[in-house]
């Protein structure tokens, strides 16, 4: 069936800011969808509030709305654009929920817009637990057995029937209150007894537990001719009970016979048909009882999911792209397989390699959060690896995650680890369960013992045991000969791991030299969807140690771009955006681009993005081997080989390798690693500032409390303290007094002469400013100046900001431009640089300068219509700013420092993940902002005034902005004066004020009435925390007092707001901005505009001025 | 792992792969083919169609689920040799009774592991299926190559006699018996009578060289032509049998080798594919419904598409038994995957509707047999 000819214009809904559980995989799928739809000649309108996405680049849609994904806003877009249909199955849960919202509000009917992909009934059948359960039963599948009970006798009979353990859920209690897992009869009596008492209908649901069962997923596709294919099976190494996003997963499934697999396939296909997803992808999860093979259906996603992205990368079958084609009417047999070109997409990929995905956690960012892995996803990113065997893929994946341990045996065992406590630790799923399982096996536990403790399938445990046996052999061998070395490499051992096991080999470098002397280098195989049955035309490669390499010779000049690895807080999609831009810009001018990355969620690892894709860990060894393979094959073909390696765009990961790569002879282009280092070296950078006549806050270093106290006394409190050996704000604190300083130093046990603590004067109440710029060595271009809304001291990645700056005068802006240019030339920048300033008492302080792509590059690029990362990549390869101005990539004249009054305001706001985490006791965690970055994603709001732009940004993050109701206010003493004006505005807008005594008194004296609320520590029955928990408060304004930390009143208030999901503002500047936003929103002035309109205004105006 | 003996694999064009002994230690020869299924190695190994072939498994992790007592597709392992990348030393599955390697060794099957199976597959894809030898007795490639070149070719090979049942046997219908089918065992898999039994069919399985009187002695409602190994050009006896069945208007359903026999009976020729179709992910278009099914394949030969005019192959063609439709085609390479006689009660497919291993998408073809039996009976009653 060919394409439908009644569809001319599609509205694609994106997934908004990056959050835990919904990361850049939806940029990957959305980008593919937009590209496909436009190739098919359809008009594409896109809404997505996340500026750091490739899909929101103006060239991917006809009209791109960087606007909040809310019902009201999308209605405006529909009214303006009049699309024929909406595609909401490629933007994650956010887009699907938006579609449901539009349907419920009657907007789809009102404008006659069709939902394509999955219709409303299918979405509901797939998403509603009760309806879905019925679907499964209707097609002959199984769901967990359960029964509703009204008495303890019924409960006991049911439990006898189901067998322990069971899950007990009281009916109709708030938020699942009283639910629990009963492992013993005592548990049953206690939980069910309480549950019956608490349930208003005196009933509890007793459900069979599938905890510890094997967990699988299938990715399926269906077309409108009812053809269905299974794209991929995924097996979770972690058993049921750990969210699949937090599990180590493997593709294809490893421990299913054909009978079991085909049964799963049959049930999966039947469910897909019964749910009625018309076209596109879906994901179904299954659990299998390892003892009996009984299979249960857990849930489905009637849309493209995180696992779909993983499956696409794992198989080479581009699910989102195909889903978009199916949505507009094509059938699977009409769509060619990109990789073979000769065969159609109507087939099931078969793999001749093993794929392992490992999640990446950042628990260290959230002190107090319970690190136990549960059914709530907590990881912030993932790394994927391909190998010819599970062992190889696993070891590559472990070193791809860039945790402290780079694979087994690269870190000492934890102090005091014994077989007993290691086995005990395995009983609770945690970050690094496989490391713990390895330790248990190495300490002498049997596979059966370890399986008993953690329920990981014995096959996987035996694979780990085999690695340990090989490790022992390597350690015990008289000499590490070629045969042994080769076996180790085939099993995925890195040079660094081998060096740790054989100290006489003189470290990783020694192992590498030995290996090269023996001629032992990896070969590169191809991901081709068909296990080599047909020829592949897409150079998507992974390394292994075997006989034959498949790197095609090419004589074109090649450039390698190193990606950013797994997403982490502080290193996310923004860096992938810059890498993709570099690829695009360099491809366009004729370079053969080579992408190296290991993050399956990203656009950069789409085989369509670069000319060649290497799905490899970003380690020194893996990168240098890719370079060698590409360089040598290029030279052998008579070309120049690899002429440049770009490391400045992928964030800290590639930067950390830069110097070693350069020393190993790789041609690092752009700003030199030495210059990057100099900017980070406190001493060298301080001297440079002196030479340039620029000022930094006073500071010093200390290796003991005494020294720290002296430095702090000299420069005056408050001070900003941090360890010298970390980046990204890790371990940074603002200290207001001597006692807190003593506490900090005692906690920073690693302070030593090699690792001093850095102490800087903290500029209280200063305005923080971020600048992105370009420099080619001769010429300088200022990209944009961002004024932070929160004061200095909040990590720049967590601070909202405005571009152009909203309060800075012309003189300051001129000074910023002048300072930044001096720094760029002084440091020797050849590409991008980000500088952070603080402005206090008319003095501009340089906080730091980072000569590389920053997190703000996509935001600035979208706000100013200038692709900074593309320009940086070109400059790195020798282009001049003048040239890029002439080409039209940069403005022909002027730059980001001269924004006129007609330029709209862009606001960046961040999304914080506090809601995801709970303490071990189950309460919320602190939601305060500080010098350590905690946000996972960002949004952009664009409008003519700051208030409107900020309102949009707030809407984009929270989905709501209270315009009336109750506001609770409790601020620190230093903020009491500044809070009066915003609260008065809120009262004028109709808010009722609740306040704690101190804050209330100040308000009262300014004529503002308030209802007093007791502090939490007062012991009163109704206090601030219970008021917030009751849901009666619509907005919380609370700023932290001098001593942040658990169990203070402020901590309790903020965590209560997190739990109750109430908007919570924690800075005084934030309160002022929120007030402006509420004011704008309540006037109903929010209007939508596309990025294309905006850019036409910006660039059109510039061009007009230039003429 | 390190305790395994070295082993070599030598192709007739001289390419050598080195690995380690897997299964029985010894020497073996056959036709080198690759199979791309990611599940179902037990079914593959016990599929009689692989007789005389050395099978390379493209999926790298083999043996993970061990060996159970239910999934054998016939009475023994038939492959001439087995080539894998990584052989599992443990079995992890609730039904597993023993390890794959134990089973290979006890049945005397010589294998090789730690081989770059992807390189081998690419070689066979480019150069075509060819003769091969595996040895864990010698590591002298020249010596083995000489032996390989002395072994017979697959083209022209008649292997049916080696795999077929020696005596007829019966597989009872499940529940009430509605129909009876006589199956010609050219290398039949157990799942075929099982799928028929599900539909109330009792199957009597006949040796490959049974004559038409024996086959029709109990007046079966239909005759089934099974899959099997070797070159279909040698199956003259079965072709003649089929022509007789067509003349007598006995309903016929053929699969795989049986498809080639029906095709030959209708006047088509067979040819050897370069490297064959062996896997469980092959897309086939059913021209009756225009729907795509994902199917299990195992064939090295195929029917030559009928020419309707000079160099033009067509969907419909005339035979002495009336008009015939090429009812199924492979979407990957347009190979003929099924025939339906429009004027005679006969149809066939080149692939495996019984699956095992593989997807169940083509299971409907057994329902078509029931429909064919019913309509033929109806026609006879009307007449």
- Of A264, A193, A162, A273, give the one whose Cα is nearest residue A226: A273
| 3-state SS, residue A467 | helix
Question: Quick check: A725 pLDDT over 70?
Answer: no
Report residue A551 as tokens: 């790197």
pLDDT mean over A309-323: 95
DSSP letters spanning A853-881:
--TTHHHHHHHHT--HHHHHHHHHTT--H
For residue B360, indicate whether it is catalytic: no
- Among A347-361, A400-414, A553-567, the range scoring the smallest mean pLDDT is A400-414
Residue A175 has pLDDT above 70, yes or no: no
CB contact under 8 A, B357 and A258: yes
**How many whole angstroms separate alpha carbon A781 and alpha carbon A821?**
8
Mean pLDDT value across residues A24-30: 92
Model confidence at A747: pLDDT above 80: no
Q: Residues near B93 by Cβ (< 8 Å), separated by ≥ 6?
A: A255, A256, A257, A260, A293, B64, B65, B66, B68
Helices (H), B286-330: none
User: What integer pLDDT is reported at residue A681 of this predicted model?
Assistant: 82
> Mutating which of B36, B43, B92 best tests the A interface, going by the most A Cβ atoms within 10 A?
B92
Taking the Cβ of residue B363 and every Cβ of chain A, the question of whether any pair is shorter than 8 Å is answered with no
pLDDT in tens, B148-166: 999 998 888 899 999 999 9
Contacts made by residues A704-709, CB under 8 angstroms, sequence distance 24+: A704/A745, A704/A751, A705/A741, A705/A742, A705/A745, A705/A746, A708/A741, A708/A745, A708/A757, A708/A759, A709/A738, A709/A741, A709/A742
- pLDDT-derived band at A1042, boundaries 50, 70, 90: low
Contact A745, A756 (CB under 8 A): no
Give the percent of chain A with pLDDT over 70. Answer: 96
B12 is catalytic: no
Q: What span, in angstroms and rounded, lies between the C-alpha atoms of A283 and A100?
A: 19
More confident residue, A19 or A940: A940
What is the residue-averaged pLDDT of chain A? Answer: 91
A826-856: per-residue pLDDT in tens? 999 999 999 999 999 889 999 999 999 999 9
Q: What is the pLDDT of residue A1104?
A: 40
- By the CB < 8 Å criterion, does B359 face chain A? yes
**For chain A, how long is the longest CA-to-CA vector?**
88
Contact B94 A265 (CB under 8 A): no
How many other CB atoms are there within 10 angstroms of residue A1040's CB atom?
Answer: 23
Grade residue A749 by pLDDT with cuts at 50, 70 and 90: low
| HSE of A2, CA atoms in CB hemisphere, 13 A | 3
E strand map for A677-830: 699-702, 719-723, 733-735, 757-761, 767-775, 780-791, 801-803
Q: Indicate the SS3 state at residue A402.
A: coil
CA distance linking residue B305 with residue B62, whole number of Å: 36
Question: What average pLDDT does this structure show over A271-291?
Answer: 93
Q: Has residue A1045 got a pLDDT over 60?
A: no
- Give the pLDDT confidence score for residue A1101 in this predicted structure: 55
- A139: phi then psi, degrees, rounded to nearest 5: -95, 10
Q: Where are the beta strands (DSSP E) in A881-928?
A: 905-911
Residue A936 to residue A919: CA distance in whole angstroms: 19
Q: Which of A957, A991, A778, A977 is nearest to A881 (CA)?
A: A778
pLDDT in tens, B274-311: 999 999 999 999 999 999 999 999 999 999 998 766 66
SS3 A110: helix
DSSP class of residue A925?
-
Instruction: Check CB contact under 8 Å for A459 and B92.
Output: yes
Chain A contacts of B57, Cβ < 8 Å? none
CB A67 within 8 A of CB A96: no
* Active-site residue identified among B113, B256, B330, B341: B256
Residue A1106 confidence class, pLDDT cut points 50, 70, 90: very low
Contact B116 A266 (CB under 8 A): no
- Report residue A462 CA to chain centroid gap: 32
Q: Are B88 and A546 a contacting pair at CB < 8 A?
A: no
Reduced to 3 states, what is the DSSP secondary structure of residue A177?
coil
Count of A-B CB contacts under 8 Å? 171
Give the relative orientation of helices A705-715 and A738-747 as an angle to the nearest 10 degrees.
Answer: 140
Cα B115–Cα B120–Cα B125 angle in degrees, nearest 5: 160
Please provide residue A626's backbone torsions phi and psi, each rounded to the nearest 5 degrees. -60, -45
Tokens of A762: 């903290």
Best CA proximity match to A385, nearest among A619, A188, A197, A546: A619
A752 falls in which pLDDT band (50, 70, 90)?
low
The CA-atom distances, in angstroms, between A116 and each of A131, A270, A437, B383 are 21, 21, 46, 52
Give the span between the Cα atoms of A963 and A31, in whole angstroms. 35
The answer for residues whose C-beta is within 8 angstroms of residue B180's C-beta and 6 or more apart is B201, B202, B203, B204, B218, B219, B220, B221
- Report the alpha-carbon angle A243-A246-A251, nearest 5: 95
Q: What is the pLDDT of residue B1?
A: 44
The per-residue pLDDT for A918 is 74
Reply yes or no on whether the pLDDT at A463 is more than 60: yes
CA A868, CA A833: separation in Å to the nearest integer?
A: 10
The CA distance from B338 to B330, in Å, is 9
SS3 B113: strand
**Dist CA A1044 CA A362 (whole Å):** 21
Q: Which helix (H) or strand (E) holds B291?
A: strand B291-303
Report which secondary-structure segment, H or E, holds A162. helix A152-162
Residue reference for tokens 């923080």: A768
Half-sphere exposure of A584 (CA within 13 A, CB side): 19
Low-confidence ranges of chain B (pLDDT < 50): 1-2
The tens digit of pLDDT for each residue in A900-955 reads 888 899 999 988 888 777 777 667 777 777 788 888 899 999 998 888 999 899 88
For residue A787, pLDDT beyond 60: yes
Structure tokens at A402: 């860039």
A596-613 pLDDT, tens per residue? 999 999 999 999 999 999
In DSSP terms, which residues pair with A214 in a beta bridge? A288
With cut-offs at 50, 70 and 90, classify the pLDDT of residue A1043: low
Give CA separation, A243 vs A210, A288, A321, A369, A429, in Å.
13, 16, 26, 17, 10
pLDDT digits (tens, 9 = 90+) for A552-582: 999 999 999 999 999 998 888 999 999 999 9
> What are the tokens at A88?
């909401």
Helices (H), A401-553: 419-425, 433-442, 447-454, 458-476, 482-490, 495-501, 507-517
Q: Helical H runs in A529-619?
A: 573-588
Total number of residues shown for chain A: 1107
Could you tell me the pLDDT band of residue A368, with boundaries at 50, 70 and 90? Answer: confident
Between the alpha carbon of residue B161 and those of residues A242, A313, B157, B237, B262, the distances in Å are 54, 47, 11, 12, 19
pLDDT at A310: 94
What confidence score (pLDDT) does residue B337 get? Answer: 97
DSSP bridge partners of A668: A645
Residue A1: predicted pLDDT: 62
Query: Both ends of chain A: CA-CA distance in Å?
Result: 52
What is the percent of chain A with per-residue pLDDT over 90, rounded to a whole number?
67
pLDDT tens for each residue of A1093-1102: 999 888 875 5
Report the gap between the CA of B58 and the closest CA in chain A (Å): 5
Q: Is B17 in contact with A262 (Cβ distance < 8 A)?
A: no
The confidence score (pLDDT) of residue A1105 equals 41
User: How many other CB atoms sit within 10 Å of the CB of residue B75?
Assistant: 11
Backbone φ and ψ for A313, nearest 5 degrees, come out as -70, -35
N-to-C CA span, chain B: 70
User: Of A194, A168, A192, A190, which Cα lies nearest the Cα of A179?
Assistant: A168
pLDDT at A1107 over 50: no
Averaged pLDDT for residues A251-276 = 96
CB atoms under 10 Å from CB of B211, counted, come to 13
The number of residues making up chain B comes to 383
B109 touches chain A (CB under 8 A): no
Nearest CA in chain A to B332: A343
Q: Which among A359, A432, A358 has a CA at the least distance from the CA of A396?
A: A358
CA distance to A992, B105, B137, per residue, from B5 (Å): 83, 14, 9
State how far the Cα of A804 lies from the Cα of A896, in Å rounded to an integer.
8
User: Is B70 in the A-facing interface, judged by CB distances under 8 Å?
Assistant: yes
Q: Does A140 touch chain B (CB under 8 A)?
A: no
**Reported confidence tier of residue A895, pLDDT bands at 50, 70, 90:** very high
**Among B39, B64, B94, beta carbon nearest to A292:** B94
**Contact: A547, B39; criterion CB under 8 Å:** no
The yes/no answer to whether this complex scores an ipTM above 0.90 is yes
Residue A385, number of CB atoms within 10 A of its CB: 29
Strand-pair partners of A907: A802, A941
Is the pLDDT at A538 greater than 70? The verdict is yes
Select the residue of A225, A262, A291 nearest B360 (Cβ to Cβ).
A262
pLDDT digits (tens, 9 = 90+) for A448-459: 999 999 999 999
Between CA B7 and CA B17 the distance in angstroms is 9
Look up B354 and say whether it is catalytic. Answer: yes
Give the residue among B326, B376, B350 at the shortest CA–CA distance from B223.
B376
């Amino acid at each position: 069936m060919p394409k439908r000819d009644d569809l001319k214009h599609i509205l694609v809904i994106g997934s908004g800011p990056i959050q835990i559980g919904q990361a850049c995989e939806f940029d990957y799928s959305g980008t593919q969808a937009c590209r496909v739809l436009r190739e098919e000649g359809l008009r594409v309108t896109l809404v997505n509030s996340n500026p750091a996405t490739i899909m929101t680049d103006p060239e991917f849609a006809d009209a791109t709305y960087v606007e909040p994904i809310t019902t009201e806003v999308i209605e405006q877009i529909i009214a303006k654009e009049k699309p024929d249909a909406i595609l909401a199955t490629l933007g994650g849960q956010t887009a699907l929920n938006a579609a449901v919202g539009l349907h419920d509000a009657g907007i789809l009917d009102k404008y006659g817009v069709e939902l394509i992909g999955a219709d409303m009934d299918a979405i509901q059948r797939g998403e509603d637990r009760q309806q879905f359960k019925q679907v499964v039963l209707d097609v002959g599948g199984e769901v967990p057995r359960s029964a509703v009970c009204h008495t303890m006798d019924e409960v006991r009979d049911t439990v006898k029937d189901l067998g322990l353990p069971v899950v007990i859920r009281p009916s109709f209690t708030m938020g699942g209150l009283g639910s629990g897992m009963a492992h013993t009869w005592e548990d049953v009596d206690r939980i069910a007894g309480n549950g019956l008492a608490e349930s208003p209908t005196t009933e509890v649901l007793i459900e069979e537990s599938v905890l510890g069962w094997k967990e699988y997923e299938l990715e399926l596709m269906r077309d409108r001719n009812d053809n269905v294919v299974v794209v991929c099976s995924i097996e979770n190494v972690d058993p049921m009970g750990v969210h699949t996003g937090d599990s180590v997963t493997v593709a294809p499934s490893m421990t299913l016979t054909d009978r079991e697999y085909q049964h799963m396939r049959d049930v999966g296909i039947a469910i897909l048909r019964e749910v009625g997803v018309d076209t596109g992808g879906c994901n179904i999860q299954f659990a299998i009882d390892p003892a009996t093979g009984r299979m249960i259906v857990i849930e489905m996603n009637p849309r493209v999911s995180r696992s779909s992205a993983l499956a696409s990368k794992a198989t080479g079958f581009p699910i989102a792209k195909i889903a978009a084609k199916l949505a507009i009417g094509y059938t699977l047999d009409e769509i060619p397989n990109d990789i073979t070109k000769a065969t159609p997409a109507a087939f099931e990929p078969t793999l001749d390699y093993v794929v392992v995905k490992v999640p990446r956690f950042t628990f260290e960012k959230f002190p107090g959060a319970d690190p136990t892995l549960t059914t709530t996803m907590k990881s912030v990113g993932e790394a994927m690896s391909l190998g010819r065997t599970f062992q190889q893929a696993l070891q590559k994946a472990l070193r791809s995650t860039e945790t402290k341990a780079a694979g087994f045996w690269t870190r000492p065992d934890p102090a005091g680890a014994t077989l007993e406590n290691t086995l005990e630790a395995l009983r609770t799923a945690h970050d690094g369960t496989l490391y713990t399982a390895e330790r248990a096996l190495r300490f002498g536990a049997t596979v059966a013992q370890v399986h008993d403790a953690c329920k990981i399938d014995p096959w996987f445990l035996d694979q780990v045991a085999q690695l340990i046996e090989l490790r022992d052999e390597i350690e015990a061998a008289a000499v590490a000969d070629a045969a042994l070395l080769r076996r180790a490499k085939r099993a995925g051992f890195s040079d660094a791991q081998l060096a740790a096991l054989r100290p006489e080999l003189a470290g990783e470098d020694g192992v590498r030299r030995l290996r090269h002397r023996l001629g032992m280098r990896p070969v590169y195989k191809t991901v081709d969807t068909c296990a080599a049955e047909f020829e592949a035309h897409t150079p998507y490669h992974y390394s292994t140690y075997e006989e034959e390499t498949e790197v095609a010779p090419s004589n074109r000049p090649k450039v390698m771009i190193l990606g950013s690895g797994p997403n982490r807080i502080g290193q996310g999609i923004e860096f992938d955006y810059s890498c993709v831009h570099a690829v695009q810009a360099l491809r366009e001018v004729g370079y053969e681009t080579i992408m190296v990355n290991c993050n399956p969620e990203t656009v950069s690892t789409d085989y369509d993005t670069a000319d060649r894709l290497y799905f490899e860990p970003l380690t020194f060894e893996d990168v240098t081997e890719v370079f060698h393979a590409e360089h040598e094959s290029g030279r052998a073909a008579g070309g120049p080989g690899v002429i440049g390696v770009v490391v400045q765009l992928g964030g800290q990961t590639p930067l950390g390798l830069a110097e070693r790569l350069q020393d190993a002879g790789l041609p690092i282009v752009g700003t030199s690693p030495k210059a990057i280092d100099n900017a980070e070296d406190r001493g060298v950078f301080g001297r440079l500032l002196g030479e340039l006549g620029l000022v930094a806050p006073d500071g010093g270093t200390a290796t003991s409390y005494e020294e720290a106290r002296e430095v702090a006394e000299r420069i005056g409190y408050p001070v900003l303290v941090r360890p010298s050996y970390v980046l990204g704000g890790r371990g940074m604190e603002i200290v207001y007094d001597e006692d807190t300083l003593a506490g900090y130093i005692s906690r920073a046990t690693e302070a030593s002469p090699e690792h001093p603590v850095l102490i800087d004067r903290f500029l209280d109440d200063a305005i923080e400013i971020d600048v992105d710029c370009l420099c080619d060595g001769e010429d300088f271009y200022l990209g944009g100046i961002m004024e932070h809304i929160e004061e200095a001291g909040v990590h720049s990645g967590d601070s909202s900001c405005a571009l152009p700056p909203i309060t800075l005068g012309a003189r300051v802006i001129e000074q910023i431009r002048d300072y930044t240019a001096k720094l760029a030339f002084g440091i020797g920048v050849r590409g991008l640089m980000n500088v952070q300033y603080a402005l206090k008492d008319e003095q501009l302080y340089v906080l730091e300068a980072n000569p590389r792509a920053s997190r703000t590059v996509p935001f600035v690029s979208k706000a100013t219509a200038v692709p900074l990362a593309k320009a940086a990549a070109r400059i790195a390869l020798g282009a001049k700013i003048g040239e890029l101005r002439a080409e039209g990539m940069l403005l022909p004249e002027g730059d980001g420092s001269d924004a006129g009054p007609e330029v709209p305001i862009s606001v960046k706001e961040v999304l914080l993940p506090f809601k995801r985490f709970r303490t071990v006791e189950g309460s919320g965690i602190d939601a305060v902002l500080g010098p350590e970055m905690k946000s996972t994603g960002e949004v952009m709001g664009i409008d003519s005034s700051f208030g409107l732009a900020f309102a949009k940004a707030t809407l984009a993050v929270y989905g709501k902005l209270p315009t009336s109701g109750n506001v609770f206010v409790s601020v620190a003493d230093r903020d009491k004066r500044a809070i009066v004006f915003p609260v008065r505005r809120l009262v004028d807008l109709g808010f009722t004020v609740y306040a704690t005594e101190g804050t209330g008194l100040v308000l009262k004296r300014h004529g503002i009435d308030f209802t007093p609320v007791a502090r939490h520590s007062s012991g009163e029955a109704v206090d601030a925390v219970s008021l917030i928990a009751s849901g009666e408060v619509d907005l919380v304004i609370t700023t932290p007092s001098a001593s942040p930390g658990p169990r203070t009143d402020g901590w309790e208030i903020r965590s209560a707001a997190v739990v109750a999901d109430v908007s919570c503002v924690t800075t005084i500047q934030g309160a002022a901005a929120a007030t402006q936003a509420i004011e704008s929103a309540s006037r109903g002035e929010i209007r939508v505009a596309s990025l294309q309109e905006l850019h036409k205004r910006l660039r059109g105006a510039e061009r007009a001025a230039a003429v | 792992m390190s305790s395994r003996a070295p082993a070599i694999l030598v192709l007739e064009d001289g390419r050598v792969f080195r690995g380690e002994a897997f299964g029985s230690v010894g020497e073996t020869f056959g036709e080198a083919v690759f199979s791309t299924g990611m599940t179902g190695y037990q079914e593959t190994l016990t599929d009689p169609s692989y007789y005389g072939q050395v099978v390379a498994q493209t999926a790298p992790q083999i043996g993970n689920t061990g060996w159970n007592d239910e999934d054998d597709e016939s009475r023994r392992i038939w492959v001439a040799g087995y080539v894998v990348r990584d052989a599992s030393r443990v079995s992890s599955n609730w039904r597993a009774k023993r390890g794959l390697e134990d089973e290979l060794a006890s049945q005397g099957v010589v294998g090789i592991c730690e081989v770059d199976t992807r390189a081998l597959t690419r070689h066979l894809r480019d150069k075509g299926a060819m003769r091969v030898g595996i040895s864990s007795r010698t590591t002298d490639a020249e010596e083995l190559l000489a032996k390989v070149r002395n072994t017979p070719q697959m083209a022209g090979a008649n292997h049916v006699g080696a795999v077929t049942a020696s005596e007829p046997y019966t597989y009872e219908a499940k529940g009430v018996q509605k129909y009876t089918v006589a199956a010609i065992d050219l290398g039949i898999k157990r799942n075929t009578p099982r799928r028929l039994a599900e539909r109330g069919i009792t199957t009597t399985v006949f040796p490959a060289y049974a004559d038409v009187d024996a086959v029709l002695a109990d007046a079966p409602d239909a005759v089934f032509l099974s899959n099997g190994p070797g070159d279909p050009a040698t199956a003259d006896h079965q072709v003649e049998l089929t022509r007789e069945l067509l003349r007598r208007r006995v309903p016929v359903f053929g699969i795989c080798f049986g498809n080639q026999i029906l095709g030959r009976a209708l006047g088509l020729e067979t040819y050897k594919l370069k490297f064959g179709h062996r896997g469980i992910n092959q897309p086939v278009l059913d021209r009756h419904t225009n729907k795509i099914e994902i199917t299990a394949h195992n064939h090295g030969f195929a029917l030559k598409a009928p020419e309707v005019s000079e160099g033009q192959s067509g969907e419909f063609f005339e035979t002495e038994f009336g008009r015939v439709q090429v009812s199924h085609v492979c979407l990957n390479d347009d190979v003929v995957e099924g025939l339906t006689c429009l004027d005679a009660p006969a149809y066939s497919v080149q692939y495996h509707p019984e699956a095992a291993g593989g997807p169940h998408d083509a299971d409907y073809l057994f329902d078509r047999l029931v429909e064919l039996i019913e309509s033929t009976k109806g026609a006879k009653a009307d007449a």
